[in-house]
């Protein structure tokens, strides 16, 4: 439509930068709440890539994938935060290294 629109590769660059920051957070944090936040950042970065690709072709499919990612993120956060409450009750700590054995 416009001649001077946002270049596609710059949106994808931002998306990959966000994904790498999320992955770095996932690797360096041991607190389970921060691990869940990093997962959110990574899901959000992939959603940005989908939106950018869908907008590049002018098709609604990217936004539909975004909505599916949104519902996956919502379900994952609900279950993950339930697990956070159980970990806090059992181990009295949010450190994932305390919960690295399969037996409770």
Partner 1 sequence: MLEIILFYLASGVALAATILAMTRANAIHALIYLIVSLLAVAVIFFLVGAPFAAALEIVIYAGAIMVLFVFVIMMLNLGEKGDARERQWLQPRIWSGPAVLSLVLLCELLYLISSIEGSASAGTVTAKTVGIALFGPYVIAVELASMLLLAGLVGSFHLGRRTLERGS
**Looking only at residues 43 through 72 of this chain, which bind partner 1 when binding is defined by CB under 8 A?**
44, 47-48, 51-52, 54-64, 66-68, 70-72
Residue 92 binds to partner 1 (criterion: CB under 8 A): no
Choose which of 39, 46, 75, 103 interacts with partner 1 (CB under 8 A): 75
- Binding-residue total with partner 1 (CB under 8 A): 75
**91 binds partner 1, rule: CB under 8 A:** no
The answer to whether the beta carbons of residues 81 and 40 sit under 8 Å apart is no
Instruction: Tell which one of 85, 100, 101, 103 touches partner 1 (CB under 8 A).
Output: 85
Burial class from Cβ neighbours inside 10 Å (0-12, 13-18, 19+) for residue 44 reads middle
Q: Which is nearer to partner 1, 85 or 102 (CB)?
A: 85
Closest by CA position to 77, among listed 30, 53, 29, 44: 44
Whether 42 contacts 22, CB under 8 Å: yes
Residues numbered 10-49 forming contacts with partner 1, rule: CB under 8 A: 10-14, 16-18, 20-25, 27-31, 33-34, 36-38, 40-41, 44, 47-48
Residues 6 or more apart whose CB falls under 8 angstroms from that of 70 comprise: 47
């Amino acid at each position: 439509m416009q001649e001077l629109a946002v270049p596609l590769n710059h949106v994808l660059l931002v998306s990959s930068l966000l994904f790498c920051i999320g992955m770095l957070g996932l690797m360096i944090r041991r607190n389970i709440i921060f691990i869940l936040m990093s997962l959110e950042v990574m899901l959000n970065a992939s959603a940005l890539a989908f939106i950018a690709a869908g907008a590049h072709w002018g098709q609604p499919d990217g936004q539909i994938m975004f909505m599916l990612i949104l519902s996956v993120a919502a379900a994952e956060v609900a279950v993950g935060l339930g697990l956070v409450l159980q970990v806090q009750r059992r181990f009295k700590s949010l450190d994932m290294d305390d919960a690295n054995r399969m037996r409770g």
